[in-house]
Structure 1
């Protein structure tokens, strides 16, 4: 029997279908899921280093950008009809209705940060391509294991044209807020020696 390539095609979902599946109870309410390029992805549990880095970074950004932007934690971003990720941190334009009528779209996103402890490859490859295709100009992956920040810029259809890896002693400014100077070390959990 000849098996064709079509026999192995995956079913891609739209954001509208994804929401409908949730509404009718297909997903367990406890499941953490994201829709990335039509694929429903189960998100792994977050470790203590991941949680600490996310809290530290969100607090730092909130203190530095003040009322110039809103800082969202693990909230959906509507990239397109097939992707609705929930980044660890998104710095978005302030909306007078606090996004009660829609999720932030790429034109309303200033910066997306994913914190990686066990998800580095996924964040650098799969998510980076989805964010680049949607035109997210500033995407960072905070690698807590290696204490580095991967900075992705210059989005294109085939991915980001620039990836710069900075060590924990470096400083960085978001593209949208060039006067905000962030010490990468302040985003990372402190090193606790035994």
Structure 2
């Protein structure tokens, strides 16, 4: 009889393992996965509200932060040797080589934004902890269902020390760009009945 208290030992993958698996064709072309804390995570299918919010936020940040930062959309960032997520939006330092030789690392990230339609728990708990442990100072989760913004700041190994929720009519500025005020509503898809 097996002891029910036995802890399962998992084989955690490194970023290098993950890249080798991709190069070997282990992941199908249609499979969307990312590496988080050594585990390969299936990315949730994106709905129309999600797609709209990502596009609106990308255009907004491109306009407001042009020549100040690079805006990456659903591109990999390397947090550590076991995590290479693909956040919906990453605002990163401008690199003269446009990151031709590496993915942006934690020290090169100003802000990460995840858009949540069905992934709110994953984004606010698991991803928030991984981003906090990697030292990402400014992490936002745009909840397109409840039409609000979760803001996580002051990272620590245990998780973010400051967490707040903003309503759609409230404004915020990224920590690294305090003069760039953004209304939460500007990132959200329009309400169809209001058009």
| Residue number in structure 2 paired with 1:11 | 11
- The alpha-carbon deviation at position 66 of structure 1 amounts to 1.1
- The alpha-carbon deviation at position 7 of structure 1 amounts to 6.3
Corresponding residue pairs, total: 194
Q: Give the distance between the partners of 2:169 and 2:91, measured in 1 at CA.
A: 23
Q: Give the distance between the partners of 1:5 and 1:63, measured in 2 at CA.
A: 54
Say yes or no: does 1:173 pair with 2:173: yes
Q: Give the distance between the partners of 1:52 and 1:119, measured in 2 at CA.
A: 16
| Residue number in structure 1 paired with 2:130 | 130
Distance 1:31 1:133, change over 3 A: same
| Residue number in structure 2 paired with 1:24 | 24
| Residue number in structure 2 paired with 1:69 | 69
| Residue number in structure 1 paired with 2:42 | 42
Give the TM-score, by structure 2 length: 0.97
Q: Give the distance between the partners of 1:7 and 1:177, measured in 2 at CA.
A: 45
Distance 1:18 1:138, change over 3 A: same
Q: What is the SS of the residue equivalent to 1:11?
A: coil
| Residue number in structure 1 paired with 2:157 | 157
Runs of 4+ in 1 over 4 A off after TM superposition: 4-7
- The alpha-carbon deviation at position 3 of structure 1 amounts to 3.5
Q: What is the SS of the residue equivalent to 2:154?
A: strand
| Residue number in structure 2 paired with 1:111 | 111
- Which ranges of structure 1 fall in alignment gaps of 5 or more residues? none
Q: What is the SS of the residue equivalent to 2:95?
A: coil
Q: What is the SS of the residue equivalent to 2:153?
A: strand
Q: Give the distance between the partners of 2:76 and 2:3, measured in 1 at CA.
A: 38
Give the TM-score, by structure 1 length: 0.97
